Structure 1
Amino acid sequence: MRAIVVGAGVGGLAAALSLRRAGHDVTLVEQTPHFTETGAGIQLAPNATRVLRRLGLLKAVDAHAARPAELSFRTWSDGAEICRYALGRAVEEEFGAPYLQVHRADLQQALAAAVPSGSVRLNTVVAGVDQDEESAYVTTASGERLAADLVVTADGIRSAARRQLFGADEAVFSKTAAYRALVPAHEVADLDLPDTGVWLGPDRHFVHYWVRRRELLNVVAVFGTETAQESWTAQAEPGEQLRAFDGWDPRVLGVLQRTGQVFRWGIHTRAPLARWNVGRVTLLGDSAHAMAPFQAQGAAQAIVDAAVLGDCLTGATSADVGGALDRYVRRRLAGATNMQARSAQAGEEFHLPDGPEAEARNARMAAHAAGHRFLPQAAAWAVDALDERATG
């Protein structure tokens, strides 16, 4: 069959590759004149890296990644450890695929390099999507009408296709924002940081982990706020991040003092949908289920979407498209919606005020870690892993 994928972010690229692997002819449509990916660090749990291996890309991504040994949760004021979870070799042995931390640009470059250049239409703005009983169509801003057997819209959190299919529902501001930065490893070598750290405090939390073969420290400092722009490129005012985290552990402040360019990103999500598809058109990734990043699963869920989509369309003909897309949504909607809810809940729990609530949270986290080697969200890695048709 012929498929059109709208959007060349991580989800769109993975979808194009999965559909090609399923035997279909794919055209990838992207509005920018060349492949670009803003942002910095991204975490890829085994549910995502298993798909990358299936696509033949795991080695290429791993070559530029960091493999964390463990993750430590800490208190904001003195850095006392709340609990610790295994990552690294233990995760790979348990789930059959590694846990990687990568620069988003490195991941996208590996995905984009695997898509034949003749299948890509860059600098092409999509003005609309429509369909009839036999075909789906993408109309470009220049008036061209592209026909296919199905259309996959991976056009991100601001998805125009979602609005066209299901009506207006705007992105939802989470009342949190994040300072994001990359710091060269040598500049923080003296700070005695945990391998991967999440520091919890009132109305704040601070995350750091390595990317690009441990050459760079990815920094995400999240704070509550009533307003913030949903932008990967908006820059913070000089020293703003230090004022926001005044009084935190000296190691946290040491990292924030050594950041160069700092971006200020308002964290938005999308409300869950009851379905993602209409006829021959379906949503994928953030357009379907944009979530807060507090479970480190946003990109991973999009990559798993792509694998399941390809699986459901393997062997399908044009007459089968509607049913195949129904199966894709049935297999993915509940899990992605659950991860949206878990991510939002984690943000609330991370930001509890000092006192009985935070103490109870810390006790729960310590008790869980005492009985389990892996993070609570590892259940999602295992569920995805069990579906060998989708990810094996």
Structure 2
Amino acid sequence: MRAVVVGAGIGGLTAALSLRRAGWDVTLVEQAARFTEVGAGIQLAPNATRVLRRLDVLDAVAAPAARPSHVSFRTWSDGAEICRYALGREAEEEFGAPYLLLHRADLHQALSAAVPSESVRLSTTVVDITQDDDSAQVTTATGERLGADLVVAADGIRSAARRWLFGEDEAVFSKTAAYRALLPVAEVADLGLPPLGVWLGPDRHFVHYWVRRGELLNVVAVFSTGAPAQESWTDRAEPGEQLREFAQWDPRVLSVLERAGQVLRYGIHTRTPLTRWNLGRVTLLGDSAHAMVPFQAQGAAQAILDAAALGDALTDTTPAEVPAALDRYVARRLPTATSTQAASTQAGRDFHLPDGPEATARNARMAAHAGENRFMPQSAAWGADR
């Protein structure tokens, strides 16, 4: 059984590992000439790390990660704690896998190291995907055609495969953007920051957590904006721009933003939910299927769960059974991914409430929930592999 996976991001790499575990011969194609260190921090909840354990890569992923003891939600103006939830050892004991904070490049490195190099084709741009009743074909920019029983399109939020399968459908600007930065621990050691902090304010929220074994602080400062912002890991903010956007915030937040060296500006985009991801022998996976705002830290986790479900559905299949197996994969994953998209969008609305009765009621609800529950509301999904 032969599969071609298009795109060597987190979803594509995990899909390659999952399909190989299911006995498939996998070719992973990626248009970049080499893997580079892009992105910044990423959170992996136990629903994702449990899959990584099944794929025998959790130890490599966890080695450079930080393991937060708790998450603290705070008010924007004075940093007063609204509530906190347990993570760390308590979450691992409850859900059977750890909650990890790590640099995206470290996760990518651990996953790519587990895929045999002979299975990876870099500098390979896919220009078309076609299929008939018996096979699928991937056409590259050089005119080469790669035949397979299955094609997995993990080609990201700007997925060309999604357009080829289901017609024109562009990424949607969420009307939010984020400043991103990484600071050495020595730069912020005097601020007494929690291991994972989420500060809530009008039209903005501020997230920080440790990565690289606690050596770096990852910062994500999200703000609402009507001006379109490019989705880019490399666009730099104007000097002092982040301080103007977060003026009047708690001095600790301003200190972090002021001490940050290189600050990047990233436009947050999503994709409209689909009613199906697959057509014949071709399926979408990860951001190409369900890109979401990152306000519940589940984007990468959902791609990893896609990969696990795909491998499960395609275990012990024959070529003729591939379309039906893909139907099972999508039936298992689409409802959860779609509901997670919606929940992440709603979380952004809740985080950005203006000062006044609504924010006060939100804080009271959060405090009441934390008083009765050790873990965040979204942790209800952490125990499920779907």
TM-score normalised by L of structure 2 = 0.99
Residue of structure 1 in register with 2:17 after alignment: 17
Does the 8 Å contact 1:2/1:24 carry over to 2? Answer: yes
In 2: Cα distance, 1:291 partner to 1:255 partner = 27
Shift of 1:261: 0.6
Amino acid at match of 1:51: V
Shift of 1:195: 1.6
Q: Does 1:108 align with 2:111?
A: no
Query: 1:115-148 CA deviation, whole Å, 9 max, x = no partner?
Result: 1111111000000101000001100011111100
Does the 8 Å contact 1:8/1:154 carry over to 2? Answer: yes
Amino acid at match of 1:179: Y
Query: 1:55-102 CA deviation, whole Å, 9 max, x = no partner?
Result: 111111111000000000000000001010000000000000000001
Shift of 1:290: 0.1
Residue of structure 2 in register with 1:139 after alignment: 139
Does the 8 Å contact 1:9/1:37 carry over to 2? Answer: no
SS of 1:213's partner is helix
Shift of 1:365: 0.7
Residue of structure 2 in register with 1:117 after alignment: 117
Does the 8 Å contact 1:270/1:289 carry over to 2? Answer: yes
Residue of structure 2 in register with 1:32 after alignment: 32
Alignment of 1:265-280 (within 5 A): 265-280=266-281
Query: 1:19-67 CA deviation, whole Å, 9 max, x = no partner?
Result: 0000000000000011235210000000110111111111111110000
Residue of structure 2 in register with 1:390 after alignment: none
In 1: Cα distance, 2:381 partner to 2:325 partner = 23
Q: Which runs of 5+ in 2 are unaligned?
A: none
Query: 1:209-257 CA deviation, whole Å, 9 max, x = no partner?
Result: 0000000000000001112111111110011111110000011011111
Shift of 1:325: 0.3
Residue of structure 2 in register with 1:178 after alignment: 178
Residue of structure 1 in register with 2:308 after alignment: 307
In 2: Cα distance, 1:137 partner to 1:372 partner = 50
In 2: Cα distance, 1:6 partner to 1:250 partner = 45
SS of 1:325's partner is helix
SS of 2:252's partner is helix
Residue of structure 2 in register with 1:130 after alignment: 130
Shift of 1:382: 1.8
Does the 8 Å contact 1:154/1:286 carry over to 2? Answer: yes
SS of 2:27's partner is strand
Which deviates more from structure 2 when the two are superposed, residues 375-384 or residues 45-54? Answer: 375-384
In 1: Cα distance, 2:261 partner to 2:147 partner = 47
Residue of structure 2 in register with 1:246 after alignment: 247
In 1: Cα distance, 2:332 partner to 2:93 partner = 26
Shift of 1:18: 0.3
Q: Does 1:347 align with 2:348?
A: yes
SS of 2:283's partner is strand
Q: Which runs of 5+ in 1 are unaligned?
A: 388-392
In 1: Cα distance, 2:378 partner to 2:130 partner = 37
Shift of 1:383: 2.5
SS of 2:328's partner is helix
Residue of structure 1 in register with 2:371 after alignment: 370
Which deviates more from structure 2 when the two are superposed, residues 231-240 or residues 283-292? Answer: 231-240
In 1: Cα distance, 2:69 partner to 2:92 partner = 11
Amino acid at match of 1:10: I
State the percentage of identical aligned residues.
77
Residue of structure 2 in register with 1:287 after alignment: 288
Shift of 1:297: 0.3
Amino acid at match of 1:5: V
Shift of 1:368: 1.0
Q: Once superposed, which parts of structure 1, at least 4 consecutive aligned residues long, lie more than 6 Å away?
A: none
Compared CA separation, residues 289 and 37, structure 1 to 2 (3 A): farther
In 1: Cα distance, 2:120 partner to 2:196 partner = 37
Amino acid at match of 2:272: A
SS of 2:213's partner is coil
Amino acid at match of 1:168: E
Amino acid at match of 2:85: Y
SS of 1:354's partner is coil
Alignment of 1:47-66 (within 5 A): 47-66=47-66
Does the 8 Å contact 1:41/1:103 carry over to 2? Answer: yes
Does the 8 Å contact 1:7/1:155 carry over to 2? Answer: yes
In 2: Cα distance, 1:188 partner to 1:300 partner = 29
Does the 8 Å contact 1:137/1:145 carry over to 2? Answer: yes
In 2: Cα distance, 1:237 partner to 1:249 partner = 22
In 1: Cα distance, 2:117 partner to 2:250 partner = 49
Shift of 1:376: 1.0
In 2: Cα distance, 1:382 partner to 1:108 partner = 24
In 2: Cα distance, 1:241 partner to 1:348 partner = 21
TM-score normalised by L of structure 1 = 0.97
CA root-mean-square deviation = 0.7
Residue of structure 2 in register with 1:80 after alignment: 80
Residue of structure 1 in register with 2:222 after alignment: 222
Compared CA separation, residues 37 and 287, structure 1 to 2 (3 A): farther
Q: Does 1:324 align with 2:325?
A: yes
Residue of structure 2 in register with 1:360 after alignment: 361
Query: 1:354-386 CA deviation, whole Å, 9 max, x = no partner?
Result: 0001001111111111111111111111222xx
In 1: Cα distance, 2:230 partner to 2:11 partner = 23
Amino acid at match of 2:177: A
Residue of structure 1 in register with 2:204 after alignment: 204
